[in-house]
Structure 1
Amino acid sequence: MSKNMTEDAVRDLARDILGLADSDAARAGVGQLTTFNQLGFAGVADKPDGWYLPKNKADVAFVLETKASRILLGQAQVDEVLKNVRIMQTQYEKVVGVLYNGEDVRVFKGEEEVKTPDKLQHLSYYLSLYTVDNIDKERIYQLTARINNCLHFEFGIKNLYHRMIFTACALVAERYGAGLKRLKNLGYATFHTAIHSTLSKSLIDSRKQNAKIDILLEEYSDIKMNTTDNQQAINDFIDWVVEISECVNSNEWRGEDVMGIFFNEFNRYKKKSEAGQVFTPEHITDFMYKILEVNMNDCILDATCGSGGFLVKAMANMIRESGGMKTKKASEIKSKQLYGIEFDREIYALACANMLIHKDGKTNLEQMDARTEAACEWMQSKPITKVLMNPPYENKYGCMTIVENVLDSVPTHTQCAFILPDKKLEKASKAQMKRILKNHRLRKVIKLPEDLFFGVGITTSIFVFESGVGQGGKEFFACYMESDGLATVKNKGRHDIYGKWASIESHWIDVVVKQSGDDTCQWVDPSEHLSYQMPQKPFEIFEEDFKKTALDYLMFQKGVDAKAFSEKLTDTAMYSSRVSTDDKTVTLIMQRGGDDVGKN
């Protein structure tokens, strides 16, 4: 590299390396004539050498300061780039500033200098400096508890789902540029209105595909809370929401659904008396995705989608397979390959929020009753290839009607996985199960760990059906995952604290796909059972059993009352004996006429 490059030459070189050019997502470029005022920063006459200004103010902005190659990058030059960073921070929470002279690079994340490669990198590298590279689950648990308590006791939101919806709306607003941290110390009204305003704007595009997504905004508006004067509580809530939002935006969200973890954790605060949904543990949604061998070309249905855990997990894994969020395929997956139904209005609002948080407001979500003919017609109109579901278990919610409707409404040969109570099929009406098995085939049953749904007291299995193909009396494969390796943590539910799940999951995926490889594997006749059958313990008899039976029979023959004889024998042993003790044992020495007659 020439040591005599002019500032113009350095600027042009930086433009090419960084890839600064206008796009649909952002204004970007280099120059020496454009002022910050022209870029939307009213009244600021300073001129940046390069800029990247995303339309979404929640995304990372970038500013470039260039110098001729002969100029060393000292404090005076640092002060220039930091001044431009501060200008951008009036509109963007996250700003990266780069100082460059064609040879040396100094990089600032906000106003803090960070260590980066010696050579100038592509813009995407610098934008990723704000990306969380790993997700601290324990931190999410802590934040969830703090948010729940804050909204309950400081904001006075008594309803659990309202607390969840309010938090989800704040997360959506942060995702779409509300810049919540800039609302600290501005009072309750400004804070509350900013979330509503940003939420409303974020729904504009999504309404074109799904008008019912407005329910989210309506639910937010209906939440009753105290207009708290506790500014510290508002500030704390903002900090916690922003921290969770950064985890959602992390590179790792593909493997761990942050919102799935968050919703599951939140749901633990539900009172036992409250009716509602059992949220599927995040690791089980992933397991079900894998045993159905879902791929990026599948179209997924969850007809009781709850907060959207199965759909988000499917979206995450499918996008990962497609090459990432920036691919054309990723856009198709989000807009054309995920279908969900949820009856409960509040839970439906959560599902909408979950999708919006993951930058997908256009998912095909419908608020309707999966038991109805209208729902069947809706499902029949979709190109479903796989079904992943955890329907409500109680008969009053129409559990088996939902299962039958789904099986009847998807194309023939569709693989459908349902989490249900172990004996649910056997307890269903005989007429209904006869009808289901006449038209569809139960292929596999995987009994899940008995402590999976911590505190709920329900034991469950995954039931895998193939639609449109009758059972015809054919046996189905069954197995029992006795443990998932998770452990119960006091007041925090069940977590993979020992890191066992990855190997356990790998084993069971292999067993389910090959239908062999574990001692619990069995083939079950559907005319006899419709669940995994726990093995009967083998019958064993010991010498003591034989002696007791023989003695009981002998006393019976002699007319001896066995109970009275046993009590008298015990009294004699206990109270007519000489007691001898040492450090570890107590010895009873039965006596008759002063002579020792035995020991016990």
Structure 2
Amino acid sequence: MAGTLTDEIRVWLDGTGIIDDEHASKSERVIRPFSEYEDIFFGTKNDKLVIIQSTYALNELLHGYGINEKIRSQFVGTCLLALKNGLVYQGLTTKQICAGIEGILTNLLDKDLNKANKLVVLKSKVIDSQDVRDLKDKEFQHLLNDINEHILPYINDKTTMGQDLLNLFFTTFNKYVGKADKNQAFTPDHIVHFMCKAIGVNRYSVVLDPCCGSGAFLVRAMTEAMDDCDTEEQRDNVKKKQIFGIEYEETAFGLATTNMLIHSDGNSNIVQGNCFNVESYIDAGVNVVLMNPPYNAQRKHCDPEYVKTWKAKTKEDPSKGFHYVYEIAERVKTGRLAVLLPMQCAIGYDAEIKSFKRKMLEKHTLDAVFSFPPDMFHPGANSNACCMVFNLGTRHENASIKETFFGYFKDDGFIKKKNLGRIERTDEKGRGVWNAIEIEWLNLYSKRITKSGFAVTKEVTANDEWLAEAYMETDYSNLNQESFQNILNQYLGYLISTGRRK
């Protein structure tokens, strides 16, 4: 810019045409090739509203053609991926289209060390699925045409917003998977985004999700890390060497593979297996862990050594997922770890859970706990979850900051809507409210601000409750009958979920 005295680069990319401090892109530090600017301003335009409407319409179409809810996300993701890579489908039979999709997947996974395993999963779960094989030729063509005309033209995947829209499109169908399985807890994308921001994912982060499910944490962490890069070489390094995922369940493993491929990561380090046996990530220098472990895992999914300590009649993980956290922390050793766990783990009345709280604090620091909305996983799992953030390697008693931050982040600006799950509220100007809420949450946490009704800091031990609710002063100015009833409902739900009331 003329008249400036430094070599600082300032870029405006939001499309408003307004040149001021508020609208400047803070993540732009170097001048990109002009072909990228051309694509941003004259290429495909992102349109979130169209994507939301088209996704809902596509789901109705899939329902009408008999594609089961359990495979919809995987099927749609695979179709989108194939279309992005030049799938020919007009005038072809269902069998020919499936062969074309398989060929594209084979090429995309060409350099992947787990190619054979991933192809078997994607083929068995999608291409060879009876629901897909039963599609009439015209029906399959109609579905692909719908994605090609009403989804792809409104997503510019070379932009951050475009990557977000790809994620929105793909993960929306996970809601329907969750609807069919109340034990599935797919983490909402905005919560994933907040956790990545809170834990400080950047270009140097080497990220692990040991229970990666559909790959939501990995995709978001990859996007955040790449946004922080200055060169194409750095971005390529993030994709190839800094994102690691492990998933035991075959269907979820297929989802994660497709999800990463959709986001242009063809050589992702995602493996299928038990996170207690797969340790290839250790030599990679993992320094960030993001995870949402199963809360009611069966014996075969848990650490074999831990299972040996269970009583004979115990069928599900008595630690409610906490032992996953402890074992992964033992292997990673240093860095930061953010995990979603049920509220029971923070309260810790159960002796088994209290034992893991104690063991974690003996080796690591509890930096923060965020209480999240009780219906966060709707329409899937009914779990009431919180997020714990640990600084690994520093014993809690030796931490330089003695007090843990507790955030009461129950209102994320999302509401339940029939057939749509939880959707973002809008303000009087029609703008989504989540962005402002996220900024406030991050500001409270980063500055460790105490705010009535929102946040408090407290020095705690393993014997204490790790929840904001236990230490906050109540803001009575905002209390009304509806608020009172909501608290009663939440408390009753907690009593029922913990077996204290039947």
TM-score bracket for this pair, using the shorter chain length: 0.7 to 0.9
Checking the alignment, whether the CA contact within 8 Å between 2:45 and 2:156 is kept in structure 1 is no
SS at match of 2:458: strand
* Cα distance change, pair 229–368 in 1 and its aligned pair in 2 (3 A): closer
1:468 aligns with 2:378: no
Structure with the bigger RCO (C-alpha within 8 Å, sep 6+) is: 2
Instruction: Map residues 480-559 of structure 1 onto 2, 5 A cutoff.
Output: 480-498=408-426, 499-519=432-452, 520-526=455-461, 527-534=463-470, 535=472
CA deviation after TM superposition for structure 1 residue 404, in Å: 1.2
CA deviation after TM superposition for structure 1 residue 487, in Å: 2.8
Checking the alignment, whether the CA contact within 8 Å between 2:203 and 2:229 is kept in structure 1 is yes
- Which of 70, 73, 78 is the matching residue for 1:161? 70
Measured against aligned partners, the alpha-carbon deviations of 1:496-519 in whole angstroms (never above 9, x if no partner) come to 241211111111101111111422
* Cα distance change, pair 411–271 in 1 and its aligned pair in 2 (3 A): closer
CA deviation after TM superposition for structure 1 residue 231, in Å: 4.6
Aligned-pair Cα RMSD in Å: 2.9
Counterpart in the other structure of 2:236? 331
Structure 2 unmatched runs, 5+: 1-32, 303-320, 427-431, 477-502
- Which of 54, 59, 65 is the matching residue for 1:143? 54
1:353 aligns with 2:258: yes
Counterpart in the other structure of 1:386? 288
CA distance in 1 between partners of 2:133 and 2:408 (Å): 52
Instruction: Map residues 71-220 of structure 1 onto 2, 5 A cutoff.
Output: 131-136=43-48, 138-154=49-65, 156-158=66-68, 160-178=69-87, 180=88, 183-207=89-113, 211-214=116-119, 215-220=121-126
* Cα distance change, pair 254–142 in 1 and its aligned pair in 2 (3 A): closer
Tell me the percent identity. Answer: 28
Letter paired with 2:458: W
- Which of 383, 401, 406 is the matching residue for 1:478? 406
Bigger Rg over Cα: 1
Counterpart in the other structure of 1:313? 220
SS at match of 2:111: helix
CA deviation after TM superposition for structure 1 residue 251, in Å: 4.1
SS at match of 1:465: strand
CA distance in 2 between partners of 1:379 and 1:479 (Å): 31
Counterpart in the other structure of 2:364? 440
* Cα distance change, pair 233–461 in 1 and its aligned pair in 2 (3 A): same
Equivalent residues, number = 406
Checking the alignment, whether the CA contact within 8 Å between 1:210 and 1:362 is kept in structure 2 is no
CA deviation after TM superposition for structure 1 residue 218, in Å: 4.2
CA distance in 1 between partners of 2:263 and 2:153 (Å): 12
- Which of 138, 144, 153 is the matching residue for 1:238? 144
Checking the alignment, whether the CA contact within 8 Å between 1:379 and 1:406 is kept in structure 2 is no
SS at match of 1:296: coil
Checking the alignment, whether the CA contact within 8 Å between 2:372 and 2:387 is kept in structure 1 is yes
Checking the alignment, whether the CA contact within 8 Å between 1:184 and 1:238 is kept in structure 2 is no
Checking the alignment, whether the CA contact within 8 Å between 1:152 and 1:163 is kept in structure 2 is no
SS at match of 2:56: helix
Letter paired with 1:157: I
Checking the alignment, whether the CA contact within 8 Å between 1:213 and 1:352 is kept in structure 2 is yes
SS at match of 1:307: coil
Checking the alignment, whether the CA contact within 8 Å between 1:132 and 1:246 is kept in structure 2 is yes
SS at match of 1:463: strand
Letter paired with 2:283: S
Counterpart in the other structure of 1:450? 374
Measured against aligned partners, the alpha-carbon deviations of 1:521-544 in whole angstroms (never above 9, x if no partner) come to 1314223223333447699xxxxx
CA distance in 1 between partners of 2:162 and 2:145 (Å): 24
Checking the alignment, whether the CA contact within 8 Å between 1:141 and 1:492 is kept in structure 2 is no
Letter paired with 1:454: H
Checking the alignment, whether the CA contact within 8 Å between 2:45 and 2:155 is kept in structure 1 is no
CA distance in 2 between partners of 1:301 and 1:518 (Å): 33
Counterpart in the other structure of 2:164? 257
The structure with the largest strand share of the pair is 1
CA distance in 1 between partners of 2:439 and 2:394 (Å): 29
Checking the alignment, whether the CA contact within 8 Å between 1:132 and 1:251 is kept in structure 2 is no
Letter paired with 1:429: I
CA distance in 2 between partners of 1:482 and 1:123 (Å): 43
* Cα distance change, pair 353–271 in 1 and its aligned pair in 2 (3 A): closer
CA deviation after TM superposition for structure 1 residue 295, in Å: 1.2
CA distance in 1 between partners of 2:210 and 2:241 (Å): 16
Letter paired with 1:189: K
SS at match of 2:407: strand
